[in-house]
Amino acid sequence: MFSTLIFALTTMTSSSVQTAAPALEPSPTLATAQKAYVAGDWKLATTSFDAVCPTLPENERAECALWGILALSQTGNSADFTHAALRLDSLIQASSPKTRVYSDLYMTKAQFELYLGKNDKAFASWKQAYEAAEPRQYAVLSQVCESIQKNYTNEEVSEYCGKVKKVQTTGTPSASSSSASVFAVTKEASSSSVSSESLEPTKSGWVIQLGAFSLHESAQIMVDNFKKRNISVHITEKISPEKTLYLVQTPLFPTREAAVDYGARTFAPLNLDFIPVKIP
């Protein structure tokens, strides 16, 4: 479970000619890039991430660049998707296997290849992600492996998917597991800012929706970033005949007012758009 466009602006003056300075548009920030991403404005998100990533500390650039790649891949343009895949390959080559984002990069590559029907290559990339994975990444690893398994009948795929699933269930890695960290995935605790009294125990109520993504990896990156802020969100899969969407949502609230109030207190200060949605 993630680029500010900085323009170099100069003002030319003349002792003989006085001109009014044009109004300067605010330079995009990482926050505005993420806001564009959440809103599904893929073009703006791509250009914003591309510009701000080089300005970040070196240890944050790869994750930022991955956000930009994911945004580019979702514009709906096949040429953009191809470009995103090429940029992803370049980012992988430039990244050390010891970096935290390395497994995320290969998981994204696996999903790109799966989307293109390159199932054997998708599994090869997934194994690279598995070898470099950290505990926080095993839930996504399992989901991506299941997606590959649905499209690629192979004993090795079944074996690896079984390993990851077993670890999630028992918390004990098998003797043949890789050196990558493995763990039992536990249900994420609710944020302390969401009181247990405000949540409905049933499946009916209101949630705050923060994004809808065509790639599960995109949704997971957002979930991971909220987790770092101790904000509880989860991914809901919405399947339709046309496509599958991965929705990032909060836990249930009993009323729309309670959901909006929580969104105003939690997400508005982060400059993030949020939408109250009725469930079911």
Same domain? 67 vs 153: yes
In this structure, the answer to whether residues 45 and 147 fall within a common structural domain is yes
- Would you say residue 180 has pLDDT above 50? no
Are 44 and 151 found together in one domain?
yes
Number of H helices, E strands in the chain: 10, 4
- Three-state secondary-structure class, residue 237: strand
Which of 103, 104, 73, 109 lies closest to 88, judged by CA?
A: 109
Q: Which residue would you say has higher pLDDT here, 9 or 87?
A: 87
Q: Which residues contact 199 (CB under 8 A, 6 or more apart)?
A: 190, 205, 251, 252, 253, 254
User: Residue 238 is part of which domain span?
Assistant: 196-279
Q: Is 44 helix (H, G, I), strand (E, B) or coil?
A: helix
- HSE-up of 100 (CA within 13 Å, CB side)? 12
Domains of the chain: total: 2
Q: How confident is the model at residue 186 (pLDDT cuts 50, 70, 90)?
A: very low
Residues whose CB falls within 8 Å of the CB of residue 19, separated by 6 or more in sequence, listed in order? none
- The residue among 19 and 258 whose pLDDT is bigger is 258
The CATH number of the domain where 42 resides is what?
Answer: 1.25.40.10
What is the torsional sign of CA 248, 250, 256, 257?
A: negative
On whether both 94 and 205 belong to a single domain, the answer is: no
Q: Are residues 165 and 207 in the same domain?
A: no
Whether the per-residue pLDDT at 123 is higher than 80: the answer is yes
Please indicate, yes or no, whether residues 39 and 163 belong to a single structural domain of this protein.
yes
Q: Are 103 and 111 in contact (CB under 8 A)?
A: no
* Least confidently predicted of 59-68, 165-174, 192-201, 207-216: 192-201
Residue 10 lies in a domain: no
Q: Are residues 147 and 220 in the same domain?
A: no
Residue 11 inside a domain? The answer is no
Has residue 87 got a pLDDT over 90? yes
Domain at 243, CATH number:
3.30.70.1070
Find all residues with CB under 8 Å of 165, minimum gap 6, and list them.
142
pLDDT for residue 195 is more than 60: no
- Considering the domain architecture, whether residues 212 and 107 belong to the same structural domain is answered as no
Tokens encoding 116: 């293109």
> Contacts for 155-160 with beta carbons within 8 Å, 24 or more apart?
156/123, 157/123, 160/126, 160/127, 160/130
Same domain, 124 and 202: no
Q: How confident is the model at residue 59 (pLDDT cuts 50, 70, 90)?
A: confident
Considering 135, 170, 205, which residue would you say is the last residue of a domain? Answer: 170
Task: Tell me, yes or no, whether 6 lies in a domain.
Answer: no
Please give the average per-residue pLDDT across 116-129, as a whole number.
91
Q: How many Å apart are CA 62 and CA 26, to the nearest integer?
A: 25
Same domain, 125 and 203: no
Answer yes or no: do 130 and 231 share one domain. Answer: no
Looking at per-residue confidence, does 172 or 263 come out higher? 263
Evaluate whether residue 102 is within a structural domain. Answer: yes
The reply to whether 48 and 90 lie within a common domain is: yes
